[in-house]
Structures are given as C-alpha cells and as structure tokens.
DNA sequence: TGAACATATGAACGATTGCTCACATGTTCA
DNA sequence: TGAACATGTGAGCAATCGTTCATATGTTCA
C-alpha cells in the first residue's frame, strides 16, 4: 500500500463518535433476546407480562432488556392501568432488520 | 391484549433460525474495533500491518478480529508476497452501515 | 385499607468477549 | 540457508453481559 493511499484512506475514515454510536446501535441488536423482543414490538403493542409469556422469558429478564431498549429509544412505553404497553419506536429499526435478513438469507445460498 | 391478537402475533414472529442469524450478524458489527476495520476495508484493500498501524491496534488484535470477520465472510483476503491484503466482501454491509448511520444521526436531533 | 397483580431494579453469578503475550507458520531476499 | 518481515493462533486475564433471585414500587378493586 502506497504512503499516499494510506494517508488519504486515514483521512476518510469514520470519526470516533460515529464509530462509537454505530457499534453501540449494532450491539443492542446483537442479542437473540433483544431481537425477539424488537421483532414482536415492531408488530404489536404488548404489555410486559404478555411479552414475557410470548417469548418464554422471565418477567425480570424482559424488564431489564426493555430498560436498555428504551434508554436507546428503540421502544417506547405507555401505561394503561397496571399494565405498561411497549412498542417499537423507530422506523429505522425495521429497515435494519430487513436489510439484516437480506444479508442472512444471501449467506444461505 | 386480547387472546386472539396474542395468538396471531405469536404465529407471525421470526423463526428461531432467522433470529439467531440476525443477532449473530449484528453482534459482529457491534464492536468499535470491528466497525473501524470494516469501515477501512470497505474503502480500500489493506494489508494487516497497515491496518494495525492505521487504527493504532496491535497486529495480533487485528488478526484475531479479521479471522472472525472472514469466518462470517464479511471480508476476504489475498496474499501478495509476504503481505496479506484484506477487503470488505459484502455489499450488504455497506448498506447496513449507511442505514445504521442514518439511525445514529437521527438520534442526535 | 389490604390483597393481588404488574413492573422495575440492585446484587450476584456464570458465560462470553477482546485484548495481550508468547510463539508458530509462512514468505522474501541477500 | 538464515535473518528479517508478515501473519496466525492458543492460553490467559480483565471487563462486560445476560440472567436469576429477592425485593421495591406502583396500580386496581373488593
């Protein structure tokens, strides 16, 4: 690799903040439990207890993950009586999911 | 949530294999070192030693990550003399990066 | 009000991750 | 061939992660 290309490449790399934000976003999606939660919440608004039962997880585990997802604004919540309904809060997420699926499906062939 | 909606939702959820593949893909992208490596290799074909110097990482750390990225076919390699050149091997990755960046940038506002 | 239900949360524990270190493998060239 | 360079890799370690358990908080309704 020539010294000139090396310098030019270095100048074009993503800045530190973008790298960190990008990795953080992908990291949240990089867990099967959170993928399943987001998949469900992208399709319907569901209270925590139903979500736990639907996915066969403990209420506590779901609640912990929802806190993380909410802190990253990937889901939002709304209280109705003693239930708290969660739903996906980001149209980009659906796009990322679909593009991720495309990638995964291409791998199969 | 009505019992009917619950059953219908459960039937529409992603299958287990897709969930696993999706999470695995995102997990690989969920690390700043790998994001930086992929960012560089999406722009140019670079030998390992240059990559390490470019990113300020040890040769060993880069090599370990490249093995992972190659096992998932996100990068490919080519030997030329004693150098081994790596480059991104997936057009979907660039799309995922861009969509991830969109997401990240929207968060700022 | 108090029992029952729904959710949140902190501590703790085992599992996984990403790095370093030491060294093996592979290539060039004098 | 052997020294120098480039890369790969296994072991080990500190840090992070995801879960469970116990318990706190918040809401409903008889």
Q: Nucleotides of chain D within 7 Å of a protein C-beta?
A: 4-11, 17-23, 26-29
Distance in Å, alpha carbon of B62 to nearest chain A alpha carbon: 16
Contacts of A44 in chain B (CB under 8 A): 1, 5, 9
CA B78 to C1' C27, whole Å: 14
The three-state secondary structure class of B109 is coil
Domains of chain A, start order:
14-108 (1.10.10.10)
Q: Which of A19, A54, A103 is opposite residue B25, by nearest beta carbon?
A: A103
pLDDT at B93: 82
Rg (CA), chain A: 18
- One digit per residue, pLDDT tens: chain A, 109 residues? 888 889 999 999 999 999 999 999 999 999 999 999 999 999 999 999 999 999 999 999 999 999 999 999 999 999 999 999 999 997 778 888 888 988 887 766 6
**Quick one: pLDDT at residue B46?**
97
Say which residue the tokens 């806190």 belong to.
Answer: A67
Residues of chain B with pLDDT under 70: 107-109
Per-residue pLDDT, A18: 94
SS3 A2: coil
Q: How far apart are CA B41 and CA B87, in angstroms?
A: 5
Alpha-carbon gap, residue A88 to A29, rounded angstroms: 13
**In this complex, do B50 and A20 lie within 8 Å of one another by their Cβ atoms?**
no
Q: How far is B21 from chain A (nearest CA, A)?
A: 6
DSSP β-ladder status, B83-88 and B46-47: antiparallel
**Distance of CA B59 to CAs A10, A74, B49, B85, B105, Å?**
17, 36, 6, 14, 32
Contacts A–B by Cβ distance under 8 A: 142
Give the largest Cα separation in chain A, rounded: 66
């Amino acid at each position: 690799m020539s010294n000139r290309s090396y310098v030019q490449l270095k100048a074009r790399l993503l800045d530190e903040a973008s790298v960190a934000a990008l990795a953080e976003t992908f990291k949240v999606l990089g867990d099967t439990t959170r993928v399943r939660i987001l998949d469900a919440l992208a399709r319907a608004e569901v209270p925590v207890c139903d979500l736990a039962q639907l996915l066969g997880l403990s209420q506590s585990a779901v609640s912990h993950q929802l806190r993380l997802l909410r802190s990253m604004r990937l889901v939002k919540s709304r209280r109705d009586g003693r239930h708290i309904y969660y739903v996906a809060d980001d149209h980009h997420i659906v796009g990322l999911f679909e593009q991720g699926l495309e990638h995964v499906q291409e791998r199969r062939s």
